[in-house]
């Protein structure tokens, strides 16, 4: 896939996206509830609100899988991988 945004512009767009998520409260809700799920077995993986990227592509970028134990390391790494993928830009 050809990259059309420079790393600096990509960083700015990511900062805007994160700001919008915090403003809307979505990311805050997700992060505040994640401790309820850490250490538990993953029973299902769903992608919500995604319209442009096939779920299979997203699944290939994350370590979270059904049957695995959810850890902070896995969750943090997977969030970083998704944000760094270039699929989620404004």
Taking the C-alpha atoms of 40, 44, 62 and 7 in order, what is their torsion angle to the nearest 10 degrees?
-110
CB 81 within 8 A of CB 64: no
- If one compares 7 and 61, the residue with the highest pLDDT of the two is 61
| Statement: residue 52 has pLDDT above 70 | yes
| Verdict on whether the full-model pTM lies above 0.85 | no
pLDDT exceeds 80 at position 27: no
Q: Is the pLDDT score of 25 beyond 60?
A: no
Q: State the average pLDDT over residues 60-86.
A: 88
Non-local (6+) Cβ contacts of 1 within 8 A are 86
Domain ranges of the chain: 7-84
Is 17 in contact with 89 (CB distance < 8 Å)? yes
Q: Which pLDDT does position 3 carry in this prediction?
A: 57
């Amino acid at each position: 896939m050809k990259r059309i945004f420079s790393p600096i512009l990509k960083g700015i767009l990511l900062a805007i996206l994160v700001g919008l998520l915090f403003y809307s409260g979505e990311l805050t809700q997700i992060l505040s509830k994640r401790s309820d799920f850490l250490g538990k077995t993953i029973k299902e993986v769903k992608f919500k609100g995604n319209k442009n990227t096939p779920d299979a592509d997203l699944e290939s970028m994350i370590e979270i899988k059904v049957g695995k134990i959810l850890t902070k390391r896995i969750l943090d790494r997977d969030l970083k991988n998704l944000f760094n993928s270039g699929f989620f830009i404004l």
